Structure 1
Amino acid sequence: MDFSTLSATAGGTAARGAASSAGGSSVLSSDFETFIRMLTVQMENQDPLNPIESTEFATQLATFSGVEQQVKTNDLLSALGAQMSLLGVSQMSGWIGMEGRAIAPVMFDGAPVPLTISGDGLADRHELIVRDSSGNEVQRLAVSGDREEIAWLGSDPDGTLLPSGTYDISVESYSGDEIVASTPAQVHGRIIEARTEAGQTLLVMESGQEVAASAVLGLRLPR
């Protein structure tokens, strides 16, 4: 039996074991047993006058063992990642029912949206700017620039409501005609759900607004 052929066959077996990590350790274990049987046959049929060095067998075993350990390590890391995601949701469970405050696009469905707004204290004029999902300005209102909580009605001066959708709201601060700062509005809402999505913990507010847990700036009991 040609040991080079055995080595190539064993390498293919090891590669199949590494590629099938999602199939579980049973496939890898089966390949390993096959590999041991192949080595045993090789030893039984080697030329007594030209025996194969034992170090060559040891090298083959070490190579396959390394692949086996790498597959097990990958499986362990995947399991740990899943557990960490569940832990994140578990930690967020205490936020359910609380009122969260976060910087995020505002979902508008015709009902007033509670916001916290503020401007730059060194500016002499402040305006609330509302842009739609395409970036078009749809509303501009004069505000004091002080930090305050407001209920954004989503209507023009005539009382006509803006279409339902997602809007970006910020306060632009001016010194003369020059803009000196743009401060995003902070949206409020009671948190009703926490879930993981693509490895990220998301919080769902009562209005349907979704925000990343990392974007939450404050929590308080609902009023």
Structure 2
Amino acid sequence: MTAAGAGQANGGAAAATPRGAISTSPDFETFLRMLTVQMQNQNPLNPMESQEFAVQLATFSGVEQQVRSNQLLEALSARMGLSELAGWVGMEALSAEPAWYGGAPLELLTPDVPAADRARLIVRNAFGTEVARFDIDPAAETLEFDGTGADGFPLPQGHYDFTIESLRSGEVIATNPALTYSRIQEARFDDGAVVLKVDGGSTLDSSAVKGLRAPEGGGY
């Protein structure tokens, strides 16, 4: 091996950082150089006390360690955030947002209006057009929407909004949304909020979720 080659090999070895070793940051290295220059150029007749050097070094070292701690906490927080997102995916979210009807019956949760003696379900499509209206049991806690339209024929696949009108003595006394479950396909952070992509490709803000459940069978 030539001298130049040996020098390159030694230089490469010196540049390598052992795995697990802690390296100083550029700011800390700059501080050490400034401190060294300060010691070299001090007045020999009135040198700075060694205790003062120690105080400066300890102070900067403390700040440096705090910065590193903050960086570690931020990294840990990001990883915990990803874990939180993973927990959403595959669950079924309960909300009052329009639900995707893909041909399979939808489970609806109805509001509790004890004073009502009648109730009806009103179904609207994605354009806000009423496509079905049915009388339902006012005491029912849940009901099933099988996709039948006002004409008795199946409705096409799409997003539908469900509203419950509660009546007493023929007068509407309450109008509430029926809650539906939607399968969560994707979860992501958007401006600090968790945004969920659900069945049918629509998005749902996590703040609108009223409840969560595992899909039937418990599988994901």
* TM interval, short-chain normalised: 0.5 to 0.7
How far apart, CA to CA, are the structure 2 residues paired with 1:107 and 1:174?
25
Q: How big is each residue's C-alpha offset from its partner over 1:97-152, in whole Å with a ceiling of 9 and x where there is no partner?
A: x8x46225234355244122324232122122335557x45246232221233124
Partner of residue 149 from structure 2, selected from 143, 151, 155: 155
Looking at structure 1, the residues matched to 215 and 108 of structure 2 have their Cα atoms a distance apart, in angstroms, of: 14
Q: Distance in 2 between matches of 1:204 and 1:188?
A: 6
In the alignment, which of 157, 160, 169 is matched to residue 162 of structure 2? 169
CA contact (8 A) 1:115 1:188 kept: no
CA distance in 2, matches of 1:220, 1:160: 25
- 1:4 is aligned to none
Structure 2 CA distance, aligned partners of 1:66 and 1:133? 59
Q: In structure 1, give the amino acid aligned to 2:168.
A: S
Q: Does 1:182 align with 2:176?
A: yes
* Structure-1 separation of matches of 2:174 and 2:62: 60
Q: Distance in 2 between matches of 1:104 and 1:132?
A: 14
Q: Which residue of 2 aligns with 1:115?
A: 107
CA RMSD of aligned residues (A): 4.0
The 1:167/1:64 distance shift into structure 2, 3 A limit, reads farther
Give % identity. 36
Q: How far did residue 160 of structure 1 move?
A: 7.5
* Alpha carbons 2:188, 2:196 under 8 Å: kept: yes
1:78 paired residue number: 74
Q: Kindly indicate whether the alpha-carbon contact (under 8 Å) linking 2:165 and 2:172 is maintained by their aligned counterparts in 1.
A: no
**Contact kept? 2:110, 2:142, Cα under 8 Å:** yes
Which one has the bigger helix percentage?
1
Aligned partner of residue 166 in structure 1, secondary structure: strand
Give the Å deviation of 1:49.
Answer: 3.5
The residue type paired with residue 116 of structure 2 is A
8 Å contact kept, 1:107–1:167: yes
> Per-residue CA shift, 1:184-212, capped at 9, x if unaligned?
322365x7x5x54117485855x657665
Matched with 1:130 is 123
- Report the count of equivalent residues: 187
Aligned counterparts of 2:146 and 2:98: Cα–Cα separation in 1 = 10
Q: Partners of 1:113 and 1:31 in 2: how far apart?
A: 63
Q: Which amino acid is 2:163 matched to?
A: S
Structure exhibiting the larger radius of gyration computed from Cα positions: 2
- 1:221 matched residue in structure 2: 216
Q: Report the TM-score, using the length of structure 1 for normalisation.
A: 0.60
The one-character-per-residue Cα deviations of 1:166-187 (angstroms, maximum 9, x if unpaired) are: 3332323233424335253223
| Among candidates 24, 30, 36, match of residue 32 of structure 2 | 36
User: Secondary structure of the equivalent of 2:149?
Assistant: coil
TM-score by length of 2: 0.61
Give the letter aligned to residue 221 of structure 1: E
